[in-house]
Chains A and B, each alone.
Chain A
Amino acid sequence: MNDDKNAVEMEGISKQFPGVLANDDVDFTLRKGEIHALLGENGAGKSTLMNILTGLYRQDGGRIFVHGKQVEFRSPRDAINHGIGMVHQHFMLVPSQTVTENILLGLDEPKFRLNISHYEKIIADLGKRYGLHVDPGLKIWQLSVGEQQRVEILKMLYRGTDVLIMDEPTAVLAPQEIEELFKTMRSMTEEGKSIVFISHKLDEVMAIADRITVLRKGKVSAEGVITADTNKQHLAELMVGRKVLFRLEKADSTPGEKVLVVEDLLAENDKGLPALKGVSLNVCSGEIVGLAGVAGNGQTELAEVITGLRPVSGGCVRVHGETLIDERKSSGRGVGQVRRVIEAGVSHIPEDRTHVGSAPNLSVTDNIIMKGYREPPIAKGWSVDHVVAKEHAEKLRDEYEIMAPTVETHARLLSGGNLQRLILAREISSEPDLMIAMQPTRGLDVGAIEGVQRLLLAQRENGAAILLVSEELEELIALSDRIYTIYEGEIMGEVKEAEPEILGLMMTGTRLEDIDGVEEVEL
């Protein structure tokens, strides 16, 4: 049964973690020369399965065959010796060393004298063969993220890897880089190498994979489906276990008064360089306003300024007509500014949920009362009424389906999706007048994304003003009533019925008035 068309065969793999069966009798077959997508929500068991294949974990049950021979991996070294290598989401490179040095790191060669130019040539040739262009003499810190990823792939190729596992490789790449990566992947399979492509982005999977295996809750829900025989809708169903609507039902917007007005805002980034160069925008109650832009063009700084976390050097932010933030108010140490913004009814879903939005070693309850502990009923005189706090946390846990055994559980034990739900629960339950939502669905799986989007729309129906910052254009277009586009700290234009092409042009620095055939929105 183990014919040598198969590079890897995993049979009946099981892996138990405390409290969760991460892999339950999983079969997975990787044919020679194919790109096989491994699809599944967060926590479906993709990483566990691949960590078993790379020798990081040992399976509790089941067998692994490589090229038809049963193998038992005791360490990642065993897997590498069998030609199995993985490109991790977080790169394992030494920034102060060159590309060549990084590739040779940990190998037995060279034995004594390092003839660097000899190796640089080998690596340059290898790069040329697979379209992985990177200068072997450069230091890692000089490279872009996309180039660093190429170094990781080169490292695996140099070691003679013929089964390459790529863990969400496109997450860090720009669209053009993704295209190049796909070319490289195809040229590798043409040479007989096999690739496992881990992802939860359906479009990419449809574009690149030959076959697809879907995992759900540790079990295989579809094994080795040929890509041509399936479609996005069907795959999403397999992943989530129910029908997923890609189109959101959205009522017409009935914008009310202007809640947020931002005027000529100037601010600097952490390096002291101008990040916002005169940004003006407004958000009315009952509407979702999108802010489109490539990451790092001032979105983060804008959200931080509005929520009082970053000082401004000019302009002002008004909420309900009251000037909350201007240069004078944020001068000095800006103490109390964040609190003033919170008390004005502004909630904030931060971009970085683990480092900003939550306290990992405090309980779910403590995380939920983070914004409300100053006000009754949770505050009682100088104390926190822990009974009321607990009841409040339990209510929100049930309402927002936060999967936590108890509300005493530490936040760090929650999965990414559950943590995001906790933050949403906290920020929405205060019934804010204005919500600054940064990347609210980033890193979530299909089912969770839908839930978050529904929550945002429900807030809009309730009359909240929402400023939505997202890098997912589709999401922005689906949810927003109006969209501003930001580029290098300046607003390039504002559109109502957005088309991706127009947004794309603005995101790369073309002003709306310079684009032919588009009429500006009358305000």
Chain B
Amino acid sequence: MSISEQDLSQRRWSFPFRVKFETRLEQPRWFSGAISLGAVILALILGGVVLKFVGGDPIRAYSFMVKASFGSLGVLSDTLTKATPLILTGLACAIAFRMRLWNIGAEGQFFLGAFGASAVVLTPLLPPDTSAWLMLPAMMIVGMIAGALWGFIPGFLKARFNVNEIISTLMMNYIAVAWNNFFIFAVWTEGGFQMSPQFPKTAWLPRLTDFGKDIPAFRGLTTHLGLIFGLVAAAIVWWIVYRSRWGYEIRLIGDNPRAAKYAGINIMRNTILVMMLSGALAGLGGMSEISGVVHRLQGAISPGYGFTGIIIAWLAKLNPFLIVPISILFGGLILAGREIQPSGIPMLIQGIILVCLIASDFLLRYRIRIVKLAREA
């Protein structure tokens, strides 16, 4: 019955504990947030180690970065301005990904939204002295329609001919940029420069600084109404996904298309509609960017907002409300990147945060238990 001496001596040399992974069945609501926060903190620590290693002072570098993106009302406002298009493209990706439609064309839809909004001002569909109360809604609607159209094309091809939407949306990004360039260079060019003339003031989204006369604290703040669009859109997308009948269909198709078909859901129609909604959200992002920040149509209106939207949607686990804080974090990193550009540190931090957040997903799904190897007889 007893274990022989040899067995015991063998055990003495074996590792005294063992790591076990167990699948998590249930998790409290706060858990996912806590893990993500932990991942970000870990990423900052890792980034700090790297900074120290190359001879920098991590504390100083971080405090500089925080100052550069969140340190004062001014830079915080700039961060929010950067976050605005990210929220909208993030939502655009999230709603499509929810149905497992891999729309990576938010970038192109963003450009088309900007184009549509510009068309209202520059064609001009409305005269420059139109009231802002008419001008801005018209720009929003035309911008969203243009984005939706850019989503409709791959959606229709997918639904009708089963064309892979990853390829078609990606390719349409290039078409969108070329399309915009054509208008910038040829049609709406301002004296041969690669940009359109500046929009009239009636086509500008109100910024905080516009209220600087009445509220001195707002003077110089660039945050514009587009942020409110983003927040309202987040609430609407959340309602659609989790509360509406359409959202139920989207979630069911996303999880199991065969079950959706069995439940009598029209997958083709939903494919087209979701791609259009996705395109409209990205298009709204484009409209808000040119109407709120750039005030003209030009080539460099996006440093890849549409692609960053993909990352943001995944980091937020497709949760519309989580997209907002994550977009703000990314907006801050973009801004800090501008401030201390040569060092490339914010890019490094951004990368480490990404890796940590993606890796932390494992902790959400598995519980890690350290088991002491018992020496029971």
A contact set with B: CB distance below 8 Å: 17-19, 61, 70, 307-309, 333, 335-336, 338-342, 348, 350, 355-362, 366, 369-371, 373-374, 379, 382-384, 386, 405-406, 409, 413
Contacts and interface: CB of A to CB of B under 8 A. Distances in A.
19 contacts: A18-B25, A19-B25, A308-B264, A309-B261, A336-B264, A338-B262, A340-B264, A342-B264, A356-B259, A358-B259, A359-B252, A359-B260, A361-B255, A369-B248, A370-B259, A382-B245, A383-B243, A383-B244, A405-B25
Given A342-B264, A384-B248, A61 B376 contact: yes
B371 to A, nearest CB: 9
Contacts of B262: 307, 309, 338, 348, 350, 356-357, 370
Name the 6 nearest CB pairs between A and B, nearest first.
A339-B264, A338-B264, A359-B255, A359-B256, A370-B263, A361-B255
B255 A335 contact: no
Contact of A338 (B23, B248, B261, B268): B261
A389 to B, nearest CB: 9
A406 B27 CA distance: 12
A393 to B, nearest CB: 13
Contacts of A350: 262
Interface in B215-253: 239, 242-248, 251-252
Given A357-B259, A366-B252, A335 B266 contact: yes
Contacts of B248: 366, 369, 373, 384
A18 B23 contact: yes
Contacts, number: 88
B314 to A, nearest CB: 16
For B252, B268, B376, the residue with the greatest tally of chain A CB atoms inside 10 Å of its CB is B252
Contacts of B251: 359, 362, 366
A358 B245 contact: no
Given A18-B23, A333-B268, A335-B266, A355 B245 contact: no
Contact size range, B: 20 to 34
B23 to A, nearest CB: 6
Interface string B261-277: 11111101100000000
Given A359-B259, A366-B248, A370-B259, A384 B243 contact: yes
B268 A355 contact: no
B245 A384 contact: yes
A234 to B, nearest CB: 34
Nearest to A19: B25
Chain A contact surface mostly: loop
A23 B177 CA distance: 62
Interface of B: 3, 22-26, 239, 242-248, 251-252, 255-256, 258-266, 268-269, 367, 376
Contacts of A374: 245
Contact of B244 (A384, A405, A409, A413): A384
B245 A373 contact: yes
B77 to A, nearest CB: 36
A233 to B, nearest CB: 36
Contact of A409 (B3, B26, B263, B266): B26
A337 to B, nearest CB: 8
Given A309-B261, A359-B259, A370 B252 contact: yes
Nearest to A304: B262
A403 to B, nearest CB: 13
Contacts of B256: 355, 358-360
Nearest to B258: A356
B97 to A, nearest CB: 13
A103 B239 CA distance: 56
Contact of B243 (A19, A359, A369, A386): A386
Contacts of A307: 262
Contacts of A409: 25-26
A451 B139 CA distance: 62
Nearest to A370: B263
Contact of A335 (B23, B244, B268): B268
Contacts of B269: 335
Contacts of A19: 25
A382 B244 contact: yes
Contacts of A379: 245
Given A357-B262, A374-B245, A383-B243, 10 more contacts: A18-B24, A309-B261, A338-B262, A339-B264, A341-B264, A361-B255, A370-B259, A384-B243, A386-B243, A405-B25
Contacts of A70: 3
A379 to B, nearest CB: 6
